[in-house]
Each structure stands twice: as C-alpha cells, then as structure tokens.
Chain A
Amino acid sequence: MSAASPLIAVSGVTKRFGGLTAVEDLAFDLFPGEILGLIGPNGAGKTTMFNLIAGVHQPNSGAILLDGARIDGMAPHRIAEHGVMRTFQHNMPFAGMPLIDNVLVGRHTRLRGTLIDILLGRRRVREEEASARQKAAELIAFVGLDQRANDDVATLSFGEGRLLEVARALAGEPRAILLDEPAAGLTAAETIRLAAVIRDIAARGIAVLLIEHDMHFLLPLAQRIVVLNFGRKIAQGTAGDVTRDPAVVAAYLGEAAGGFGGRNLNA
C-alpha cells in the first residue's frame, strides 16, 4: 500500500443496537492516499461503521485509531478537528445558506479566529475569511458546481447536492474523507466527474473510505475493497479478489440474482 503505517486502524470493533449486532469484530486499515471500498448488501453495517469512525456511535468493544491515537469515544466535532471529514448517505445541506456558505461551514475547523477576534474585527479574521472564501470557491469549481456558487442550496438537483457534500467535506482539509454512497443519484456525466474528483483527492494523499452500491463505479476506482455481510468482514482484497470470492458471490446472489448490478463477477 501507499504507506507503511495506516492513517485509520479499526481493530476488533463491535457495535450492538439492543439485540442487533450491526458490526461484529471488524478490523481493517485505511492508508493515506488510498481509496478503500466498503461494500456489502443492505444492512451489512457499512453506514454503522462510518458512524463509528465519525464518532456518531461509540463501539461496544474494539478500538479505532487515527495516526496511532484512539478516536473512538470522541465527539464528532473533535474527530472532524482531527482531520476526518464525511459526507452523508442522504444529502444534509444547510438549507438556509447559499452553496458557498455551505462549503465555508466545512472549513470551520481551519478558521482560528475566536469570537473576541471577530467582535474586535481583527485583521487576521478578515484575512482568514478572504482566503477561506477563495478556497471554498476553488472547491466548488473542483466538483464542477462553479456556475451555482451563489445559488441557494434548495435549487440544487439531488446529484449536485451529492457533489456539494464532497466539496463541503474537503473544505476542512481532511486527512481522511468518508464518502457514503456519493454516486447515488448522479447523472452519467456527474458520475464521471465524481470518479475523477475522488482519484484527485486520493492523489493529494488523503485517505478515502468509500461506501458504494454501484459496482461499475466502485470496482475500477477502489484499490482495495472490504466486504461486509451481517456486520462481519467476509472478504478483503482487490476488486478482482473479492468479486471472485465465493462468500462474496453468495452474499450478493442471495440478495439479487445477477450479482454486482448485473456485472459479470469475473470480468
């Protein structure tokens, strides 16, 4: 892989909701600059795993390490401060603000001016704000929404909203980014754009953890794939490895004949 030591190390993580074990004894590593796919049938525990890393849930047992330090048990905003940003499975824009302000919110952790600095109108606050605006505009262009920068988010299509989620998460200059089904609902052109964006993110050295149902999108993109079923890891490896794995085929064929969205598993 791209580096010797993992940026995020998940080890032996179990999460139970009452009697339901959503994630069981799960372990995987995420390295800087890699695109790691997280797949599995509905209810396999993918989004739960995301929420565990992002601090929305706390694991019942096991540990999640960022750069060797434990982050499980930390509040979501602290984990974001440490450089782990995420998108949501369902678009969660800040509805009362234009696009650019949504992205600026994503930059919150990189703004150092305190409320006192703001009230006193200190120069560094103005400078910080000006450079944040410029960076936000760049990111909006990066995901291809530059025509819409000052529009209200309510006017975005679902697909444009997906891309906004990515831009907003990137605004925090993350070390790791968690993308929850970013391609869902995108047009063909937007999907191509998104694939290029994700490759570019990884090329910048950011670790990408990607949940995706669309295998046409994921398989060529992810360097490694972790497959979950009923909260357990059933396979791990390259796209070729996991699509040939009998356990994976069984898990998917059990859900929908034809396997990976109709794609020949050995292709």
Chain B
Amino acid sequence: MSRLLTPVLWLVGIVAASALAFSMGGYATDVYRKLLIWVALALSYNFLFGIAGQVAFSHFAFAGVGGYAAVIFAHKLGIPFPIAFVLAIMLCATLAFVVALPSTRLEGFYLALATLAFSQLVLVVINEGGTLTGGTGGIANYRLPPLLGFDIRGPWYTVVLVLIVAFTLWVLLRMDRSSFGRACRAIRDNAVAAAAMGIDVRRVKVMAFTLTSTLAGLAGIGYAYIDNVINPPVFGLDNAFLLLFMIIVGGTGSHLGAIVGTVLLYLAPFVLEPIVGHGFLVVFGILVVLAILFQPAGLAGLLTRSPARQPA
C-alpha cells in the first residue's frame, strides 16, 4: 500500500505547498519563502542534533557558506550558474568534512564550543572579505539567470524553495529509515554500545555532520535568491540558537516536530510583536524551558502520542 501511496502523498504535498505561493501577495510571499528556508534548515538540523545527537552551532554558518559561495562564484567570478551551484555545494561538503574530522572527536559541550568558534570564524571572513563578500553590507543587485531557457520569477521561485524543502526531507527520511539512521540514533543513545555493535562511530558522525551541513548549504543558496541580497547578520548565532529552540519545542528527533516547531516559532513574532514587542523572546525562552521540563518529545510528541523519546 505505502509504496503506491507514498509518491501520491509527496506529490499532493508539493503541489499544495506550491499552490499556496500563487495565492499570495508580496508581503506574504516574502514571509512564506523565508519560512520555507527555515523549515529546510530545521529539518537537516533536527537530523544532526536530534537524531545524530551532535550539539553543533554551525548550521547557519554552512547556510552562509553555501549562499555566499554561489553568489560569489556566479556573480563576482562570472561562472555559469549551474556550475557555480555545484561548486558551492561541493565547497560546503568539503568544508563540512574538514570541520567534522576534528570536531566530531568532541562531544556535547566541547562540540558546541568548537562549532560556535567555526561560526564566528565564518562571520569574520564574510565581514572582512572586502569586495569579494561585500563586507558588512553584503552583496546585492544580482539575480538568478535564466536556467535552461526558463526565467524563474515570482511564485515559480517559491516553487523552487518548496522543492528544496521536499528534497531535504526526502534525503533525511531515506537516511533516517535505514541502517545509517539507526547507527546515528545508536551513537546518540550510547556510543560505547554502538561501537561494540560494529558501528564506526567517528565515520558515522563525520558523515552525518557533512551531509546535514551540505543540506544547510543548499538552503543557504535558496535563501540568497529570495531578495537577491545576502549579508552577514542572518548567519550569526542568534539564528543558530533560534533553530535549536525550534527543534526542542517541536520535538527533538522528529521530522514532523521540526516542521511544527519552525512554523510556530517563525510565525509567533508576527502575532506577538504587536502585543508584547520584543518581549516575544521571553515567550520563546519560557516555551523552551517548558518543553524541556514537561514535554521532552515536544509538540510532535503531543500530536503522535508516541512514548516520550529520550532527549539527545
């Protein structure tokens, strides 16, 4: 049944999410597009943090590397976009691999520190990159060139972002529902026992970090062409922490939770800001504490009523 049903469900989901784009005005489109990027990032970060158990803060940094690299390759160096795109993805994968080699030896707090340092380093590089990165002002006034004769504009670009989310989810589900996903969860739950079962702990950790960080790079490229502007603050630590909050509130380790948590925390400020101003950050803080204390499985746990998962 599921083999027949699954492709239909995917198609329905993609069409529905795309159809939304055509019904939206300018402001709603902007909010929706950025929400899609957040969802893509949250999905891959949920795999890294929630399933592989790696408390890394480098996810937005890799999104920045992807976005900046694509824009610099395509518009500063004049490389044709498809090649620039592939090069940007390869740069993300290579950099993630290089960062993963030493940092996946670290655990918990120390991995968090190492990836925080890497994030700061990326920010410094793009802030101080002179004309190549545009410094603190970033890069603007570029646009996605026509691809295969198609000029992707307006709602059609939103469809591209829907496809990025769908691709991300598809890759992560394949990984999760396989021996690789089990190995990641096993390492998260008990690395010593995982090694005794024949799992090469470092190798699996490096692969999970590299793959999810590369997916973050892909989302970063998608982000770069929303406003045709890319600048440093987006890739800073504020957003890295917000991403972590979204996962915890949604339900650590759950794909559905990553989506629910992201939609909720991304849209909440639009509702809360007129009422409490910047106080919405306090509301976020309270939500996270409540989730950790009373509902470790997050909102997804309430929705699916599965037995509470151990937090990573």
Contacts and interface: CB of A to CB of B under 8 A. Distances in A.
B198 interface: yes
Secondary structure at the B interface, as helix, strand, loop or mixed, is helix
Contacts, number: 97
Most buried by B among A115, A125, A132: A115
Given A105-B194, A109-B198, A97 B178 contact: no
Interface in B160-203: 171, 174-175, 178-180, 182-183, 185-186, 188-190, 192-201
B229 interface: no
Given A96-B185, A96-B253, A113 B190 contact: no
Contacts of A76: 195-196
Contacts of A70: none
Contact of A105 (B171, B186, B211): B186
A85 B309 CA distance: 27
A80 interface: yes
A241 interface: no
B307 interface: yes
A80 B198 contact: yes
Contacts of A154: 307, 310
Given A94-B185, A105-B183, A154-B307, A54 B196 contact: yes
Interface string A90-115: 00111111000100111011010101
B175 A108 contact: no
A121 B174 contact: yes
Contacts of A75: 195, 200
A45 interface: no
Contact of A115 (B175, B182, B197): B175
A94 to B, nearest CB: 4
Contact of A95 (B189, B195, B200): B189
A168 interface: yes
A97 B183 CA distance: 11
Interface of A: 54, 56, 75-77, 80-81, 85-86, 88, 92-97, 101, 104-106, 108-109, 111, 113, 115, 118-119, 121, 125, 129, 132, 152, 154-155, 168, 172
Q: Which 7 pairs of residues, A with B, have the shortest CB-CB distance?
A: A80-B198, A109-B198, A92-B193, A94-B189, A76-B195, A118-B178, A152-B307
